């Protein structure tokens, strides 16, 4: 009887400990958040928003900011950016130039002024780009992998930073931009944010990539510097899944130092969100106390965000040339493909349809 009363007492006590608290508004310093990536193929543009509390449901974008681009060496105004909706600002026709240092200045009523400087690095060109299909079987996934090969000669004595991306286009010429949540042409994909969960540690055998120490985050894109091949040539070998679809695109991005640091911090943040079971579409402000917090790198003085430049070298390859493979003594054939493709086109290549089977193939 005493034991039953004790259990009842503990149950009532535990139930009475539950109390609901309303989350009060926590004061947040009014600070501008500015993000701008510039390249010589697009006009100047940026997004402007502000910091906010976790329970703030109002719009965070600013539509009345003053945004200016100034050439840092001469202090001359290059252009003013005009608001074009949802906190996006854009120049009418002014394109940035390679190696010029630009200063971004943003002002908005009620907020401290912010600024940042960056430049666009000289484009580095990859050479002898080709892929070998189904060269081996991965020991962990028990699936075939391909190898992408390319060479890169570093001609700049300064520190250089790069990002590599390869993907195949199957049916459409558009991809999905996870920043603006809209389909965009595949000719500009630097802003695509991939979930952590792409390349696996065991698939990367290249010394330069391994030296970055990023594989533990399972990045969707590969970032690297010229630390191991400064003023030298390096032949890259990257294991990946490749083949199929209409054509494949190889892109080597040359990044400014700030862009490189920002992307590395973003990759780590995405990885931690993955550990929290958050997708790229979830609110990054969701409470979770089980994983590490990762602060995004910022070069915005007086605020948050990033102002960074990049250049890109893009090459295309047609889908692998179709062939027929005779697989038994009776001459039965299966559609197959050659085991090598070369990235030799500067524009979208022709699409090769599967030809009729040769005479030696029959039902």
Q: What residue ranges define each of the domains in the chain, with the CATH number in brackets?
A: 32-119 (2.60.40), 126-296+310-318 (no CATH)
Q: Is the dihedral of CA 226, 228, 232, 238 positive or negative?
A: negative
State how beta strands 304-318 and 32-38 pair: parallel
Proportion of the chain above pLDDT 70, given as a percent: 63
Quote the CA–CA distance of 283 and 265 in Å, as a whole number: 18
Residue scoring higher pLDDT (221 or 308)? 308
| pLDDT above 90: residue 347 | no
Give me the mean pLDDT over the 89-94 stretch.
95
Do 37 and 260 meet the contact criterion of CB atoms below 8 Å apart?
no
Contacts (Cβ under 8 Å, ≥6 apart) of 254:
121, 122, 123, 124, 160, 161, 162, 310, 311, 312, 313
The three-class DSSP label of residue 162 is strand
Q: Beta-carbon neighbour count of residue 176 at 10 Å?
A: 11
Strands across the sheet with 304-318, in order?
114-119, 101-107, 66-71, 76-83, 88-90, 45-50, 32-38, 304-318, 247-255, 161-169, 222-225
Give me the mean pLDDT over the 235-244 stretch.
76
Token reading at 300: 């915005």
What are 150's strand-pairing partners?
236
- pLDDT tens by residue, 147-165: 889 999 998 888 999 998 8
Residue labelled with tokens 């089977």: 357
- pLDDT tens by residue, 50-76: 988 777 777 889 999 999 999 999 999
Going from the C-alpha of 100 to that of each of 40, 119, 189, 255, 259, the distances in angstroms are 11, 6, 23, 14, 16
């Amino acid at each position: 009887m005493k034991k039953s009363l004790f259990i009842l007492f503990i149950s009532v006590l535990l139930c009475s400990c539950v109390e609901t608290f309303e989350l009060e508004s926590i004061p947040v310093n009014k600070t501008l958040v500015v993000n701008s990536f510039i390249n010589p193929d697009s006009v100047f543009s940026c997004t402007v928003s502000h910091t906010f509390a976790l329970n703030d449901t109002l719009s965070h974008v600013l539509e009345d900011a003053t945004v200016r681009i100034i050439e840092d060496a001469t202090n001359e105004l290059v252009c003013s950016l005009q608001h074009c909706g949802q906190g996006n600002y854009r120049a009418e026709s002014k394109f940035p130039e390679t190696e010029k240092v630009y200063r971004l200045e943003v002002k908005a009523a009620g907020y401290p002024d912010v600024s940042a400087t960056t430049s666009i690095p000289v484009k580095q060109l990859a050479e002898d780009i080709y892929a070998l299909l189904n060269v081996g079987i991965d020991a962990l996934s028990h699936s075939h992998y391909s190898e992408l090969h390319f060479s890169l000669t570093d001609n700049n004595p300064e520190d250089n930073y790069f990002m590599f991306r390869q993907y195949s286009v199957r049916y459409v010429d558009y991809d999905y931009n996870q920043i603006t949540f809209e389909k965009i042409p595949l000719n500009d994909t630097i802003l695509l944010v991939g979930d952590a969960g792409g390349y696996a540690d065991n698939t990367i055998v290249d010394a330069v990539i391994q030296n970055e120490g990023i594989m533990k985050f399972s990045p969707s894109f590969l970032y690297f510097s010229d630390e191991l091949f400064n003023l030298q040539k390096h032949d890259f070998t990257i294991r990946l899944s490749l083949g199929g679809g209409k054509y494949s695109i190889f892109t080597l991005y040359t990044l400014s130092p700030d862009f490189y640091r920002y992307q590395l911090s973003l990759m780590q943040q995405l990885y931690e969100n993955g550990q929290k079971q958050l997708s790229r579409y979830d609110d990054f402000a969701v409470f979770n106390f089980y994983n590490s917090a990762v602060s995004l790198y910022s070069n915005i003085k007086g605020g948050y965000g990033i102002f960074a430049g990049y250049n890109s070298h893009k090459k295309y390859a047609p889908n692998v040339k179709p062939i027929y493979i005779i697989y038994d003594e009776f001459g039965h054939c299966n559609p197959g493909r050659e085991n090598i493709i070369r990235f030799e086109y500067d524009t979208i290549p022709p699409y090769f349809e599967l030809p009729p089977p040769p005479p030696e193939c029959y039902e």
